[in-house]
Amino acid sequence: MLVLGVDPGLALTGWALVEADGGRLRLSSAGYWRTAAGAEPGARLLQLWDQMGEILVRTRPGAVAMERLFFSRNTSTAMAVSQARGVLVCAVAKAGLQLAEYTPAEVKQAVTGSGSADKRQIARMVRLILDEAGLAGPDDLTDACAVGICHQHALGLQRAVAGAATGARG
């Protein structure tokens, strides 16, 4: 299944298409959307809406996974991220797609084995898991890859549990 991982933000939103290919995960494509700091907030949110809608139509992922806003010391940043996240969630709902949400600690745990991993550790593991040694870009891009990996791992666990339950009944 192709999963679109998203790290939401008003200034910068990272996205990554992570695909399960046999027993491995691979990066199909990734990027980020940047909105102009001086633009009206509504225009910036509309830009994110349009970009999310376009990628959903173009790539047709089986699921979308997004980082949940968990904590922020900066209230104005948290509000902007919440607004961006809301627009992105609505675009996913409009497309009729399944949305999975993960806290930053859940993503870190799934990718590195530690819920308190730092950005360097996450980036290193993302490159290793996806076999993308040259993956470069802002942290938001790496974080989107990590969210996609997290959801792929969750899907794998769900399949394993379903298979074990079926085997136990058979």
CA dihedral (126, 132, 133, 137) in degrees, to 10, reads -70
Annotation says 140 is catalytic: yes
CA distance 109 to 103: 10
> Which one is catalytic: 7, 50, 118, 132?
7
Annotation says 131 is catalytic: no
Annotation says 67 is catalytic: yes
Of 121, 140, 123, nearest in space to 132 by CA: 123
* Contact between residue 130 and residue 145 where contact means Cβ atoms under 8 Å apart: yes
> Which one is catalytic: 19, 40, 101, 140?
140
> Which one is catalytic: 40, 50, 54, 67?
67
DSSP annotation of 68 reads P
Question: Annotated catalytic sites, by residue?
Answer: 7, 67, 140
